[in-house]
Structure 1
Amino acid sequence: MKTIPVVIVGAGPTGLTAATLLAQYGVECLILERWESVYPQPRAVALDDEVHRILARLGLRDEFAAISRPHLGLRLLDRDMRVLTEFRRDVAQSRHGYPQGSMFDQPELEAILRRNLKQYGTVTLRGNAEVTALTQDADGVRVDFTDTATGEHESVRAAYILGCDGANSLTRASIGATMQDLGFTQRWLVIDVVTEADLDQWEGVHQLSDPARAGTYMRVGKNRYRWEFQLTPGEAADDYRDMARLHPLISPWTGNVPVAELEIIRLAEYTFRAQLADRWRDRRMFLLGDAAHLTPPFIGQGMCAGVRDAMNLAWKLAFVLDGTLPETVLDTYQIERRHHARAMIKLAKFIGTAMTAGGEVGNVIRRAVAPRLHLVPGLTDLATDSRTPPLHRSDLVVRPRLRRGLAGGLCPNALIDGGRRFDDVAAGRFAIVTSIEPTPAQRADIERRGAVLIVARPGSDLHRWLRTGAACAAVVRPDGTVLRASRRLLPQTISAVRSVGR
């Protein structure tokens, strides 16, 4: 039976991202996907600049720019379509070099992810491959799967399994993990429409705060639009498959566009949930994406969380497989990502509840309070800033308990020289960013450790970033996360790289 270092179950954005990152480190992997090709229905439609940065790391900077469009922020509307308040985002590039928010069509994203993967000879993608059993022993995992086109049963062995197999994850069941309900369940109607007509709407996210029927509208692409409406008890998606019944819901945005020019490409009922797996790993098997967490869509972080999972785990796994790091560093995956995912789920719950709950009383409160929200100091920045919480302390996030600092956060993908950014220079390796000019001996030590040295010159973005954390040096991991920051001595920071490799 053939043995493969990594088998990835599921070829959605999370699985494809993990496979590409592993391939960049030369790791052989097999992706098993039950669908023959890209699943054609649109699902995720939004991502932030941190995830845009990851896509660029995969080599998709230009390809993603061609299929996406920046969105301007968030607008709250009352039931009469009057604007209660508006939080605008700067569409210029953020600290990571990309728009803070972008809209896209998921099948198009998956298509470019698959095309990009073909350049790596270490990755095999098998469609029509339904995994039926995962059996783990001390030395690896037996993977049984069926070719759904021929009915043939096959098996391989894997050193590690990445379960990117969605909300109904076989991998999750195989490790005995269960989903914990975080107390949010709502039924929504999701509609995707294509039209060549110009709807002439503000190109941000529109949130309809109507106690009778909360809703969301956004432009996804050049001719693609998404609506989401909360369903009332007794309603179902099938009630709206007739455009005559659906049109009254979307007509406040479509205006005088003839019904004949509106083509429904997807209409489905979704139950928005807030759930988190109690375990994300059992020895050689890991959960990523929807297999590990489900996030209500109000802040557009569902797919983003899965891509972050892949970014967090892939480099660690690659360094373990090549002997650079001990296997114990894999314990940091759940510690770091589970706390982060929980924080984002809680934020999505809060936003969703604030926009949809409370009935008529809630509506009165929103109409009174929302127009004044922009007057609250810092609230606009909070509503528009794409930054997410720092990672939890782990063996790879070293920070003092009483001071936040830079550790656990992302190093900005700042411009450094000649038009190159931090990620271009670091190139998936450890990096040391310092405002102190190192001695020749220190430079040699850093190079011997396989790390990249980046000197932050006074007045540069990286120099200002270090100062915000009261630091003069920081160790940055291959995923862009700060492992450790130092206030005074560069040797203390260098020792952090040395200790990780032990």
Structure 2
Amino acid sequence: MPSRTHDVAIVGFGPVGQLLALLLGRQGHDVLVLERWPEPYDKPRAVHFDDEIGRIFQAAGVVDDVMAITDPVPDHYEWRNAGGEPLLRIDWSGTGPSGWPTANFFSQPDLERVLSKRVETLSTVDVQRGQEVVDLSQDENGVRLVTSSEEFHARWVIGADGANSFVRGHIGVPSTDLGFFFDWLIVDTVPLDEREWSPMNWQLCDPVRPTTIVSGGPARRRWEFIRLPGETIEELNTPETAWRLLEPWGRHPGNTALERHTVYTFQARWADEWRAGRLLLAGDAAHQMPPFAGQGMCSGLRDAINLAWKLDLVLRGVAEPGLLDTYTSERRAHVRHAISMSIALGEVICVLDEDKAAERDRRMIAGGADPARVLPPMPPPLLGDGVRLPTAGHLTPQHRVHYGGTSGLLDDVTGFGFTILTDGLAPDDLLDESRLAFLTEIGATVVPLTEENDLDGAYLPHLREHGHVAAVIRPDFYLYGAATVPGEVSGLVDQLRAHLRVRRREDG
């Protein structure tokens, strides 16, 4: 029999499982990780994350280590036609709204080493490699996990075990598949010569062979070649084919090391439910999408932080388990937006008909390669229904503040938890003892802003522009809701308490 029941068991130890282990372990929870492979996979896969994901790494305490193995994009992301004319130009330079570089490229083995090394420092997390889960069963108290050699118990189980997830298969949840299938040969290389890649990342929208040319992280380059009609996967996925397709780009064995070549089938689908009792799904186990928007791994890491703060409250007995039902409703809607955006980009890129490509080129060139004019309109990415008010649910920016004797980016000053920003209003002037005690229980920080401590001069103008005196920001940085007058703040806190289904201490 197992010696103890873990708070959480995570099946899978890729970036999503690693981030979950890190976030939950840092909160003091007893976390077990079961990874089927005895050694980490040493080949590249995901290569991009955005500024929001940089903020998530910041919350996990690893952002400096991650940025050390990352190439921030210094310029723009460009699409060109066969003649070299720009069809689309997206500015990826500089710092994004979340306080970190707008776009970043990395090698996944390097990222996994950073995350794994930090997880290993936590006494609260037990990582067991070479443990493939072969059976699961659950009751009202927890989950029994069986591997080929051992048995484990946990209160909650998260399947972060990839596109072929055992946990998802065990749940038997149906999926929605949008039927967007394309095969692409992914070729990862290490250039051996010194040269400048400008722009760093771009798409060749040539109907003869649409091709992606991007960074693979520091000192690496990636090419992606669409499979053409009549080509088989077998003949495409060979070193000889990879070198033949790289040759027009001046790449050959004399100046390039071929690190990996493989064919991926780009898909667009998601599991309809991400929770079944005490079993939950995250990352590729819950959704897959084409890579054209660079949001596959990013979406999985957003899953992780959304689930981590909710599980933390449930495990501490501060919130009811029903809070976890909002994980699916919030994240599924957000992921559908990312998938829709990826498909919209793919439908522009994956054009093999010369006449249709010429028509596309004329339209996009006439639009001045301006994303606002040449891409299909998309609604803003909002969380679905859940722990938010109807007018909220969007990602909030991160700026520098001074609070509690510390200056820095907001999340570093307040820590991982809820944050309430006010227009100079002190918490004691807004809330009674009961509501202040509730905020303490959920780990919330109230920051009264003034012209002196709003160091970038950004938060106060934003609040005032929208007529708000206070705003509640969730631990995953999305807006819960805002108050327009001081008297509304108590009601805002009461609504949050109801959303979390918080139990009174006398109820146990």
Q: With the length of structure 1 as denominator, give the TM-score of the two structures.
A: 0.90
Relative distance call for 1:203 and 1:444 in structure 2 (3 A) is: farther
What is the match of residue 316 of structure 1?
Answer: 310
Matches within 5 A, 1:57-96: 57-71=59-73, 72-80=75-83, 82-89=84-91, 91-96=93-98
> What letter corresponds to residue 165 of structure 2 in structure 1?
S
Deviation sequence 1:197-222 (CA, Å, 0-9, x none): 13432143211112221110112223
> What letter corresponds to residue 484 of structure 1 in structure 2?
G
What is the match of residue 267 of structure 1?
Answer: 261
Q: Aligned partners of 1:124, 1:476: CA distance in 2, in Å?
A: 31
What is the match of residue 150 of structure 1?
Answer: none
Contact persistence 2:77–2:199 (CA under 8 A): no
Relative distance call for 1:380 and 1:442 in structure 2 (3 A) is: farther
What is the match of residue 187 of structure 1?
Answer: 183
2:393 matched to 1:397? Answer: no
2:169 matched to 1:169? Answer: no
- Cα displacement (A) at 1:466: 2.4
- Partner SS state of residue 112, structure 1: helix
What is the match of residue 229 of structure 2?
Answer: 233
Relative distance call for 1:379 and 1:100 in structure 2 (3 A) is: farther
Matches within 5 A, 1:216-227: 216-227=212-223
> What letter corresponds to residue 345 of structure 1 in structure 2?
I
Gaps of 5+ in 2: 504-508
What is the match of residue 481 of structure 2?
Answer: 484
> What letter corresponds to residue 347 of structure 1 in structure 2?
M
Q: Aligned partners of 2:376, 2:494: CA distance in 1, in Å?
A: 35
Of all paired residues, the percent bearing the same amino acid is 34
Contact persistence 2:211–2:223 (CA under 8 A): yes
> What letter corresponds to residue 114 of structure 2 in structure 1?
I
**RMSD value, Cα:** 2.4
279-288 vs 65-74, which moves further: 65-74
- Cα displacement (A) at 1:193: 0.5
Equivalent residue pairs, number: 484
Q: Aligned partners of 1:166, 1:245: CA distance in 2, in Å?
A: 28
189-198 vs 472-481, which moves further: 472-481
What is the match of residue 506 of structure 2?
Answer: none
Q: Aligned partners of 2:200, 2:375: CA distance in 1, in Å?
A: 16
Contact persistence 1:7–1:32 (CA under 8 A): yes
> What letter corresponds to residue 204 of structure 2 in structure 1?
L
Relative distance call for 1:115 and 1:27 in structure 2 (3 A) is: same
Match of 2:448 among 446, 455, 464: 455
What is the match of residue 494 of structure 1?
Answer: 493
232-241 vs 50-59, which moves further: 232-241
What is the match of residue 401 of structure 2?
Answer: 416
> What letter corresponds to residue 196 of structure 1 in structure 2?
L
Q: Aligned partners of 2:371, 2:264: CA distance in 1, in Å?
A: 36
Q: Aligned partners of 2:237, 2:382: CA distance in 1, in Å?
A: 43
- Cα displacement (A) at 1:376: 5.5
- Cα displacement (A) at 1:89: 2.1
What is the match of residue 437 of structure 1?
Answer: 425
Contact persistence 1:75–1:83 (CA under 8 A): no
What is the match of residue 37 of structure 1?
Answer: 39
What is the match of residue 107 of structure 2?
Answer: 105
What is the match of residue 426 of structure 1?
Answer: 414
Match of 2:361 among 360, 364, 367: 367
> What letter corresponds to residue 285 of structure 2 in structure 1?
A
Deviation sequence 1:417-464 (CA, Å, 0-9, x none): 254111112311221111142363436746532121112335721123
- Cα displacement (A) at 1:227: 0.7
Q: Aligned partners of 1:183, 1:242: CA distance in 2, in Å?
A: 27
- Cα displacement (A) at 1:92: 2.1
Relative distance call for 1:357 and 1:378 in structure 2 (3 A) is: closer
Q: Aligned partners of 1:492, 1:295: CA distance in 2, in Å?
A: 39
Q: With the length of structure 2 as denominator, give the TM-score of the two structures.
A: 0.89
What is the match of residue 119 of structure 1?
Answer: 121
Relative distance call for 1:350 and 1:166 in structure 2 (3 A) is: same
- Cα displacement (A) at 1:276: 0.8
- Partner SS state of residue 168, structure 1: coil
Relative distance call for 1:319 and 1:168 in structure 2 (3 A) is: same
450-459 vs 471-480, which moves further: 450-459
> What letter corresponds to residue 356 of structure 1 in structure 2?
C
- Cα displacement (A) at 1:496: 3.2
99-108 vs 87-96, which moves further: 87-96
- Partner SS state of residue 217, structure 1: strand
Relative distance call for 1:140 and 1:242 in structure 2 (3 A) is: closer
Deviation sequence 1:228-267 (CA, Å, 0-9, x none): 11102342455356655433422443x3x55322111110
- Cα displacement (A) at 1:138: 2.4
2:174 matched to 1:178? Answer: yes
Deviation sequence 1:360-410 (CA, Å, 0-9, x none): 122102221222334769459999x9x96121122x1112xxxx4xx2112
- Cα displacement (A) at 1:172: 0.6
- Cα displacement (A) at 1:86: 4.4
264-273 vs 71-80, which moves further: 71-80
What is the match of residue 348 of structure 2?
Answer: 354
Deviation sequence 1:53-96 (CA, Å, 0-9, x none): 1111111121111110112332112224x032342425222221
What is the match of residue 343 of structure 1?
Answer: 337
Contact persistence 1:432–1:453 (CA under 8 A): yes
What is the match of residue 149 of structure 1?
Answer: none
Match of 2:283 among 283, 289, 296: 289
